[in-house]
Amino acid sequence: MFEGWPLLSLLIWLPIVGGAGVLVLGRADADRARWSALAVAALVFVLALALWVGFEVGVAGMQFIERTPWIQAFGIDYYLGVDGISMPLVVLTAFSTLLVVVAAWEVVRYKPAQYLAAFLIMEGIMIGVFSALDAILFYVFFEAMLIPMFLIIGIWGGPNRIYATLKFFLYTFLGSVMMLVALIYLRTEAGSFAIQDFYGLQLPLATQTLVFLAFLAAFAVKVPMFPVHTWLPDAHVEAPTGGSVILAAITLKIGGYGFLRFSLPITPEASMALDWLLIGLSLIAVVYIGLVAMVQEDLKKLIAYSSIAHMGFVTLAFFLIFRILAGSGSRDGALMALEGGMVQMISHGFVSAAMFLCVGVLYDRMHTRRIADYGGVANRMPVFAGFFVLFAMANAGLPGTSGFVGEFMVILASFQAGFWYAAIAGLTLILGAAYSLWMIKRVVYGEVKSEAVDELQDVSPRERLLLGSLAAVVLFFGIYPAPLIDVMAPSLDALFRIVVPTL
């Protein structure tokens, strides 16, 4: 029924225009702001589902292509399209934003219209990032994301929000302007700004390395990779719940997506030459940051560090492919690593969103995030405890949850790179289980610790709906990941042909 529609444009501009509408409509009336924001977010989600339904599985190339000239003097087009790599991320974005709008319902009292509008505009921009096929268009969306996120953390954040928001902005801005210079350089070589025209440029290794490093600056900060990860815990701790959800669920994925869309296919030789660097940093993220997560006393910080560790796992998967090929020559093994990384990204989107929403539920009631202030929550909030334990398990990679599928695929593939890669990567399961379980033990179980905990109310129907829908998704993809893998496999295969053309 959506055939012939400019579906991607609608997905981008409907939330942006809708956000502006919410801003105007809801200035005086908070309820009107909420309902109109919900209407926009729900409509966008329906369109995203239509995108998924209309997506032709088994096709490697771009679909839903839209192309019109935009800045003609430089051959820049308004050029959109999605493949199996970006389509799931678009749907994830629409889903998370809907959750954020619902989660903000009674909780956000200070300027709710501006809050909701910021998230809707953010949604449109992020979908733009995932569907832009022109480098400058991509860059425009990539950078424009900073504006709403800057405001979200700075206006609705915690006490230390100003430090956090400036740090967030300057880190990511520095990373991305380096990429801009690289993109401009690539255009002089390729003669156009279409990303696909950058593929297959035969650049000398030295040039490739510089371009690769410029991309690395942009995407490593976004992911974030060790040692440029320090903005993330600050940003998460200070951000409001919705901000944390979007940061963890989507913006981190943009870093991973960038590696797949830019770094690997445009600078394959440099990627291969520098894979030791990326693998090393990823392993540090997995092990060291995992250990750091364990000693956190703040719930949000713990989950933030766990996010960094999990994303380290994703970048490990992406750059291990060269070692896998060198180790076993197995193309399937390397492809499995890529698929595992992607599944892990999507799964982490759901799980981390759920974890942050859970913390948000607790914070709304107790106004503290210190783990030590909790204890015995299960006695007063049994339903909530059930959800929280399930998501913590998914975070730890328990079989039957979506978290398991990705990690399992990557570890399986990494055996072909060498035993030690797999052994260190496998530590993520142990560490993840350790900090997740320990957190659960301290927060959820045990005796009721204080009067404040004693007075806790269990989740409301609205919160039940939020957490329930996430639980359903996490379990569904945990038991039956095939639809996800089927969607992305052909595109990853095509990517692989560009990165390693000889095989």
Binding site for other proteins (CB under 8 A): 27, 70-74, 111, 114, 136, 139-141, 143-144, 146-147, 150-151, 154-155, 161-162, 165-166, 169-170, 173-174, 177-178, 180-181, 184-185, 187-188
SS (H, E, C) 295-352: CCCEHHHHHHHHHHHHHHHHHHHHHCHHHHHHHHCCHHHHHHHHHHHHHHHHHHHHHH
Distance of closest approach, residue 143 Cβ to other proteins, in angstroms: 5
For other proteins, the closer of residues 33 and 358 by Cβ is 33
Distance of closest approach, residue 267 Cβ to other proteins, in angstroms: 16
Distance of closest approach, residue 23 Cβ to other proteins, in angstroms: 8
For other proteins, the closer of residues 165 and 306 by Cβ is 165
Find the DSSP H helices in 367-460.
Answer: 377-380, 382-396, 402-414, 419-443, 451-454
Angle at 132 between CA 131 and CA 136, to 5 degrees: 160
For other proteins, the closer of residues 161 and 323 by Cβ is 161
For other proteins, the closer of residues 57 and 170 by Cβ is 170
Distance of closest approach, residue 225 Cβ to other proteins, in angstroms: 19
For other proteins, the closer of residues 117 and 342 by Cβ is 117
Match 């949604």 to its residue by tokens: 123
- Identify the burial level of 72 via C-beta atoms within 10 angstroms of its C-beta, where 0-12 means exposed, 13-18 middle and 19 or more buried: exposed
For other proteins, the closer of residues 52 and 70 by Cβ is 70
Of 386, 404, 383, 385, give the one whose Cα is nearest residue 474. Answer: 404
Distance of closest approach, residue 122 Cβ to other proteins, in angstroms: 12
CA distances from 232 to 127, 191, 326, 373 (A): 21, 37, 34, 23
Distance of closest approach, residue 112 Cβ to other proteins, in angstroms: 13
For other proteins, the closer of residues 48 and 214 by Cβ is 214
Give me Rg for the CA atoms of the chain. Answer: 22
CA distances from 413 to 311, 409, 491, 502 (A): 17, 6, 19, 20
For other proteins, the closer of residues 166 and 201 by Cβ is 166
For other proteins, the closer of residues 65 and 170 by Cβ is 170
Distance of closest approach, residue 490 Cβ to other proteins, in angstroms: 32
The amino acid at 384: F
The amino acid at 82: V
User: Token pair of 111, please?
Assistant: 């300027």
Yes or no: say if 418 and 323 are a contact pair by the CB < 8 Å rule: yes
For other proteins, the closer of residues 25 and 427 by Cβ is 25
Return the SS3 of 488: helix
**What is the rounded CA–CA span in Å between residue 188 and residue 297?**
50
CA distances from 238 to 21, 81, 150, 256, 483 (A): 27, 35, 12, 24, 36
Distance of closest approach, residue 113 Cβ to other proteins, in angstroms: 9
User: Token pair of 351, please?
Assistant: 């799980």
Of 12, 11, 24, give the one whose Cα is nearest residue 54. Answer: 11
**What is the rounded CA–CA span in Å between residue 217 and residue 169?**
14
Distance of closest approach, residue 257 Cβ to other proteins, in angstroms: 18
Please measure the distance between the N-terminal and C-terminal CA atoms of the chain and give it in whole angstroms.
40
Distance of closest approach, residue 492 Cβ to other proteins, in angstroms: 29
